[in-house]
Amino acid sequence: MPDDTREPGLLMLVSPKQNHLLAALDTTDYAWLAPHLERVHLPLRAVVFGADMHARHAYFPTTSVLSLLYDLESGSSVEISVTGNDGVVGMSLLLGGDTPMGRAVVRSAGYAYRISVDVLAKAFESRGLLRHLLLRYTQALITQIAHTAVCNEHHRIEQRLCRSLLSYLDRLATNALTMTHESLASMLGVRRESVTAAATKLQDAGLIRYSRGRIEVLDRPGLEQQVCECYAAVKAEFGRLLPQRKPATSAAVFVARSYATRSAFPAPKHRGAGQAVGS
């Protein structure tokens, strides 16, 4: 996973325009937002905000990936959406709600740019092109949530696991995921044993390699043949609704951490797994 916690001597260069929504803004809207964007590091399994929290920020991921979970009274949870450099986390806060619609958890560590909800709400109300872009993203997100619900009800666990893995791969610059069977079970809303059985089938078929909480995808075309139609439907809707512009800066650019680099980009202070990083 590309982040400077793995290699202390290297640091990823990140830019707000690595996020596809920010990259799609016109010059005027981007110049308006840019002074309000704050770069933050999001460690693995950190809780960005919960459904019962008053969130103060929305997040535009660049190299991180976040999962939005719905927590049931029984204590179990299920993933309802996944967001990486294709979107923004906290969109529901701009649509009249004072609290998020779920618990946002970091599934792949990396960076994001956060912005005050009040500032983003002001831009949403006053800047028509920005509002149009965010509303189209919201429609795509609703499609993802709807297909996730259908998929969880009607498709086999192996197909759902393929959909989940492919959805994460689409938002990462690597073919490997740091993810345990327990976390996958939580995301898919099934028992851990069911995930283990499904992952074993995929591994026996030569599609993935799993070891010690790390899943490496060996045959992406093979996964795409096994996945249900939900994956393609959601991907097509994102492609239809949102501009297909490449981020301005590659997500795989590293530099040696010279003194000047360390001063300009201080190493992130890490928080414990599952600890909120501040809403």
Quickly state the pLDDT bin for 165 (edges 50, 70, 90).
very high
Mean pLDDT score across all residues of the chain: 82
Confidence check: pLDDT of 272 > 90: no
Q: What percentage of residues in the chain have a pLDDT greater than 90? A: 56
Q: What is the largest CA-CA distance in the chain?
A: 55
- Domains of the chain (ranges plus CATH)? 10-128+250-279 (2.60.120.10)
Give strand pairing partners of 116: 57
Task: Indicate the pairing of strand 110-116 with strand 103-108.
Answer: unpaired
Q: In the prediction, which pLDDT does 29 show?
A: 95
Confidence check: pLDDT of 275 > 70: no
Nearest residue to 70 (alpha-carbon basis) of 221, 235, 228, 189: 189
198-199-201-207 Cα dihedral, nearest 10 degrees: 130
- In this prediction the pTM is 0.81
Q: In the prediction, which pLDDT does 159 show?
A: 94
Q: In the prediction, which pLDDT does 96 show?
A: 73
Q: In the prediction, which pLDDT does 12 show?
A: 53
Confidence check: pLDDT of 2 > 60: no
Q: In the prediction, which pLDDT does 276 show?
A: 58
